[in-house]
Amino acid sequence: MLLGALGLSAALAQTPAEIYRCGNAYTNQPVPGVECTRMGAAPVTVIEGTRVHANSAAPASPAPTAQSAVPRSKPPPDTATHTKVDAQAQKERDQQARQILEAELAKATVAQAEIARLWNNGEPNKQGDEFKNPAKYQQRVAELRMALLRSEADMAGLRRELARLGTVVAKP
């Protein structure tokens, strides 16, 4: 008899209760006065939305209190996000950025020239066991081609950044 009661309670626990949708709310009992529709026996998944946080400009409570009726002074702006740099400091920063970009472009140009030298117009010199293993040679040719394309793209990006800063850069 105890096993029968356990089996009955397990069966009841597994059968889903009737679920009603009343507007945007889901419940197991219909709300009087609201049009509720009966959902199927399928389980309903509820995903919590994000909560809206009250910002410092708007009061958190909707009803005004005696304390909130008093006009508040505007809080000081966050100095980390609203700091303005004077023109001379900005010119120095721009000059420093330009010098860094020009140095990077010079390095990229030297690296690209070395890769182009190794590339040898698509026919790099075979090294070591590449004479016996053509697959290894083809792999190195593909790697050199990719390195050459990558270095050209890097140089183009550096030229774009320099042009954005107002520096005219001649293509080699």
pLDDT of residue 2: 46
Residues 6+ apart with CB under 8 A from 51: none
φ, ψ of residue 113 to 5 degrees: the values are -65, -40
Question: What span, in angstroms and rounded, lies between the C-alpha atoms of 112 and 105?
Answer: 10
Q: What is the pTM of this model?
A: 0.47
Residues 6+ apart with CB under 8 A from 80: none
* Tens of pLDDT, residues 113-147: 999 999 888 888 888 888 888 899 999 999 999 99
pLDDT of residue 6: 47
* Tens of pLDDT, residues 31-66: 888 888 888 776 667 777 777 776 655 454 455 454
pLDDT of residue 27: 84
The amino acid occupying position 129 is: D
Handedness of CA 151, 152, 154, 155 (dihedral sign): positive
Residues 6+ apart with CB under 8 A from 35: 22, 23
Question: What span, in angstroms and rounded, lies between the C-alpha atoms of 163 and 98?
Answer: 10
Question: What span, in angstroms and rounded, lies between the C-alpha atoms of 172 and 170?
Answer: 6
pLDDT of residue 14: 52
Helix (H), strand (E) at residue 66: helix 66-69
Taking residues 9-24, report their average pLDDT.
Answer: 66
Mean pLDDT computed over every residue of the chain: 77
16 in Cβ contact with 38 (< 8 Å): no
